[in-house]
Structure 1
Amino acid sequence: MSYAPPTPPGWYPDGAPGMLRWWDGTAWTASTMAMPSPAPVATPQHYPQVPAGTPTNTPWIWAVVAVPLAGLVLTIVQLVLMQQMMQRMMATFNTMMYDPYASDPTNMNGLFVWTNGLMTITMLLSFGSLLLYGAGVLFAYLDHRDLGRLGYQRRFHWAWSFVNPVYPIGRSVVVRRQAGTGQWPMWAAIAIAVTSVLTAIIWTSAVLSSFYAQFFSTVSQFS
């Protein structure tokens, strides 16, 4: 026959729910106690928190946000120049249609010089846009560096600034998870990006529609 070892003294579940009773090793006693609640499980914190009051923005992040805004201004100037060039070409075309003798080399050379001048300005503006692009990458790097100095252990990598507006968005998300705030650069960057795209689409569509309408109107008069 097998031998069952005696139950050691200790607290064991009682018949009442949530209660424990003391077993002295030989018999149940009158001592009871409530069953302790289980200790909460500590969940690992993937984003360490910064001290309250830590700045969430640096001057460089606002420079990153402002770069596309400056690019929008250059885009508008380029669109205006393109509109003027197309209007000038259309006016010259109309003159040639009504007066064939107006197509002498002097007038054509003047048109070519004027058009080449506008194209040169447009190329310079495009070069300026490229410089702004590089400045945005530099500003993102400086912002990434200063966030580290402020105590942010987790930071969105500055190289994402090559894809606008990914850096301000990702950076704001990571900062918010550590500081509880700091999302305004993200919303500003999104608003500027949407405005830039809509401006280019609407303006280009309007200019092309006006050009083709005037062109076909002129051609229909001589058909």
Structure 2
Amino acid sequence: MSDPNHAQFPAQQQPAPGWYPDGTGTVRWWDGSAWTAHTQGSAPVAAAPRPAVLERPRLADHLAVDGPWTWVIALAQLLAVPSIFLIDVRGYVRSLTEGDQSGFISYFATTGIVALLGWALTALIIVAAHRDSKRLTALGVVRPFHWAFAFLGATVYLIGRHVVLRKVTRTPGWPLWANLACVLVSLVITTIWTVMFMQFMLSELATSPLYS
């Protein structure tokens, strides 16, 4: 039986009976003169060609991939640690124990200064990552780890940078390990400072006439 919805072979070129694509994406039985109702699933579809992957060429082993900007990123964490000692903890505690509102003002002012220093440090890391990425490109590194990941932190950028560089050259990744050490030192110092702050505040509150 013929079906007007399906493509027909020209009368002068009609093939022998068999399974053929009918023009609708289905393999259908051709009885020699017309299509029948018998189908055999979908016609094979050619796979789309995969886009070519741009490979990263190998660089010379032990190439000096770590420059001054790399070390700025790695060690910048240490610059943030001393800033916490600028916070006027005594002024805050004095406000709680003596009712001196100027202590609150001093505390929040110094906290704001520390926050500004932290943002400035983040900006420095981002600029350094951009310069470092440009340097790697100049050295021949194809598609270096994008500098914008520095917005997520120095450690994130250095990890991604190290992963990419390990694919193209031999590098021990000293900036990454130095940064991780800085993070650990910062965590220890911050924890000690927090404990001392809490102990000082509790001792002052215990002897304050306002809370006795």
Task: State the TM-score, normalized to the length of structure 2.
Answer: 0.64
- Structure 1 partner of 2:149: 160
Tell me the SS of whatever aligns to 2:121. helix
Amino acid at match of 2:147: W
Structure 2 distance, partners of 1:65, 1:121, is: 26
Cα gap change, 1:89 to 1:157, in 2 (>3 Å): same
- Structure 1 partner of 2:95: 89
Matches within 5 A, 1:160-199: 160-164=149-153, 165-199=155-189
Aligned-residue CA RMSD in angstroms?
Answer: 2.9
Tell me the SS of whatever aligns to 2:145. coil
1:150 aligns with 2:139: yes
Matches within 5 A, 1:71-82: 71-78=80-87, 81-82=88-89
User: Paired residues, what number?
Assistant: 159
1:61 aligns with 2:70: yes
C-alpha deviation, 1:47, in angstroms: 4.6
Cα gap change, 1:64 to 1:221, in 2 (>3 Å): closer
Which has the larger displacement, 188-197 or 118-127?
A: 118-127
Structure 2 distance, partners of 1:171, 1:221, is: 54
Percent identical residues: 24
Question: 4+ residue runs of structure 1 moved beyond 4 angstroms?
Answer: 217-222
Structure 2 distance, partners of 1:118, 1:210, is: 15
Cα gap change, 1:113 to 1:220, in 2 (>3 Å): closer
C-alpha deviation, 1:119, in angstroms: 2.7
Structure 1 distance, partners of 2:109, 2:92, is: 15
Tell me the SS of whatever aligns to 1:179. coil
The structure in which a higher percent of residues are helix is 1
In structure 2, list runs of 5 or more residues that go unmatched: 1-53
Cα gap change, 1:141 to 1:132, in 2 (>3 Å): same
Find the structure with the greater CA-based Rg. Answer: 1
Amino acid at match of 2:146: H
Structure 1 distance, partners of 2:159, 2:104, is: 40
Deviations 1:70-89 (A, max 9, x none): 122223433xx22x224433
Tell me the SS of whatever aligns to 1:186. helix
Structure 2 distance, partners of 1:55, 1:125, is: 35
Amino acid at match of 1:89: S
In structure 1, list runs of 5 or more residues that go unmatched: 1-44, 94-107
Task: State the TM-score, normalized to the length of structure 1.
Answer: 0.61
